[in-house]
Structure 1
C-alpha cells in the first residue's frame, strides 16, 4: 500500500471506534508461520496472560521439552563422570524446565527491547518526533515486546515464554521508577503500574488487529499507543513500514535461531546489569 494511501486513510481510522472482526487479509501477506495463531490468541489475551505483578514465574507441566531445552542440554558434556554429573545436577535443579528455559531465553529478548530507545535515539526522537521521557521509553519497549510476542506464539509453550517476557518488562518498569526516577512511595508506584498494565493490554490488542488487517488499522494503533494522538502522517507511515519489516524478519528465523538469538532488531543483547534499572 502506497504511503499516500496510508496517510489518506489513517486519519479517518484514528477517530473511529474499531469493530473487531476476523482477519480480512491473508496472513501470508506479511508472514507465513508466526502469525497463524495470533488472531485467536489476541482475543483471549487479557484472560490467558495474567498480570505480571501477580506472579514472578508461571509453573507448567509440559508434555514435551521445548526446542530451546533440547539445545541447551546438548551443549553439556555427553560422556564421562563430569558430563553425567552436570546433566544430573541440571535436571535436579530444574534447569531444563519450560519455565527456567523461558526465563533464560526471554531475558536476552527483553534486554534488547529495553535498549531500543537508547540505541536508536535519533530515529525515535528526531525522525519520529517522540518526546524524550519515560512514557516514550515504555511505548517503544512495549512495541518491541509485542513484536517478539507475535513470534513467540509460533513456538511450543508459547504462552509460558510470553508470560516470562512480560514479567521481565514489568519488573524492569518498577525498578526504573524506584532506582532511576527515585520514586519511593509504594502507592504511587502501584498506581503507575496499573496504568502501564492497562496500556500494555490495550496496545497488544490494537497492534494485533493492525497486524491482521491492514496498514490504516496499524497506523491508528501506532497513533494512539506510540504517538499518543500526535505525530505527522509521514512519521506514522514510517513506523507502519518499520513494524511490517520487523515482523517479516522475525518470521524468517528458525525456532533455534530465534530462541537462542542475542541479536534482534539490529541490536545485540547487553551484558547483565548490575544495578536494577541501569
Structure 2
C-alpha cells in the first residue's frame, strides 16, 4: 500500500511548531530539554488521540454495530470493535518514520484502558482474575492482527473469515460479514490516501471527531 510521505523526522525532534524569534527559540529549547518533542513523547500524544477515537467507535456508531451487524452490547464487542480500529491505524502507522514506536504506544493505550475498564467500570478487584483476562485479550489481539493482516494482503474471503472469527465470534450472517469487509476495505483506502502530516495531526478518523486529550483513557 503506497502511503504519502511529506517530511522526514530525526531521532530527537518530531513535528515542532513553526515558532520564530527569541521566545520561539526558547520554547523549542525548553521543549527539547523536557522531552516534549522526543519521538516517544510525540508518539504518546498522537496515539492517545488515535486511541480515544478507536475506543469510541461502539458508542459513536451503536446502530451500525448493534443493529446492522447484530453484535451483542457487551465488553467483548467493545474490545473487538476497538481492536479492529487499532489494527486499521497500525497498518497506516507502519508507513511512518518510527512506526514501531507509534504502534507500541497505541497498543499500550489499548491495554491500559482494558485494565482500567475492568477495574473501574466493571469493578473487578481480583488481580488474578484481571491477569487471566489480560492474557486472554492479549492472545486475541495478536491472533486478530495476524488474521487481519492476512485478509488485507489476500482477498475478501480471507478477510471475511478473519472478521467472522474475531469480530463476530463465529456468528453473523453472510450479509453482515460482507458489510464489514466493505467497511474495512474503505477505511484502509481512506487511510492510505491521507498524507503523513494530516494523519499524525488528524482530529477526525473513522468519521469520529477527537475530543480534547484527557488523562489515562478509561478512567
User: TM-score normalised to the size of structure 1?
Assistant: 0.74
TM-score of the aligned structures, taking structure 2 as reference length = 0.94
- How far apart, CA to CA, are the structure 1 residues paired with 2:175 and 2:54? 24
Which residue is 2:17 aligned to?
74
In structure 1, which of residues 127, 134, 143 is the aligned counterpart of residue 68 of structure 2? 127
Contact persistence 2:53–2:208 (CA under 8 A): yes
Counterpart mapping for 1:102-181 below 5 A:
102-181=43-122
What displacement does 1:274 show?
5.8
**Is 1:241–2:187 an aligned residue pair?**
no
Which range is displaced more, 82-91 or 183-192? 82-91
The structure that has the greater radius of gyration is 1
Moved more, 90-99 or 136-145: 90-99
Report if the CA contact (8 A) 2:14-2:38 is conserved: no
Q: Distance in 2 between matches of 1:265 and 1:249?
A: 9
Please say if 1:256 is aligned against 2:197.
yes
Partner deviation per Cα, 1:126-165 (whole Å, 9 max, x = no partner) = 0000000000000000000000000000001100000000
Answer yes or no: is the 8 Å Cα contact 1:179–1:276 preserved in 2: no
Once the two structures are TM-superposed, the CA of residue 272 in structure 1 deviates from its matched residue by: 3.5
Aligned partners of 2:119, 2:128: CA distance in 1, in Å? 12
Q: 1:165 to 1:263 in 2, by over 3 A?
A: same
Q: Answer whether contact 2:93 2:99 (CA < 8 A) is retained.
A: yes
Which runs of 5 or more residues in structure 1 are unaligned?
Answer: 1-30, 35-62
Give the count of matched residue pairs. 215
Structure 2, gaps ≥5 residues long: none
Tell me the secondary structure at the aligned position of residue 170 of structure 2.
Answer: coil
Q: Give the match for residue 211 of structure 1.
A: 152
- Name the CA shift for 1:183/1:156 in 2 (closer, same or farther; >3 Å): same
Corresponding residue of 2:10:
64
Q: CA RMSD in A?
A: 1.6
